[in-house]
Amino acid sequence: MERCLAGVAHIIHAGDIGAADVIDRLRTLALVTAIRGNVDVGDWADSYPETQTVRIGGRCFYILHDLTGLEDKPAPTMPTW
């Protein structure tokens, strides 16, 4: 895993973390934004939100584990011509 992610600045984890130490290991490589998925249960998972929005490099990312839970589509950020 470390070799595949070498050099990245920010990791987005969209859930199904599996265990608390997974995010701890990722944080040794880069900044991490993570949400919980349906398999993430227990006290350790309670600290992760179900959804999150993060701005990286001037772009806004809405992080959601299960697409069926998307009620409203995020506003497009691309310019209209």
Burial class (CB in 10 A: 0-12, 13-18, 19+), 40: buried
| CA contacts within 13 A on the Cβ side of 16 | 2
* Distance of alpha carbon 68 from alpha carbon 81, whole angstroms: 31
At 43 the pLDDT is: 95
Put simply, whether the predicted model's pTM sits higher than 0.75 gets the answer yes
At 75 the pLDDT is: 60
Q: Would you give per-residue pLDDT tens digits along the chain (81 residues)? A: 778 888 999 999 999 999 989 999 999 999 999 999 999 999 999 999 999 999 999 999 999 999 887 776 666 555 444
At 78 the pLDDT is: 52
At 76 the pLDDT is: 58
DSSP helix, strand, coil percent of the chain (3-state; round to 5): 20, 25, 55
Q: How far is CA 3 from CA 7, 30, 46, 65, in A?
A: 9, 13, 29, 25
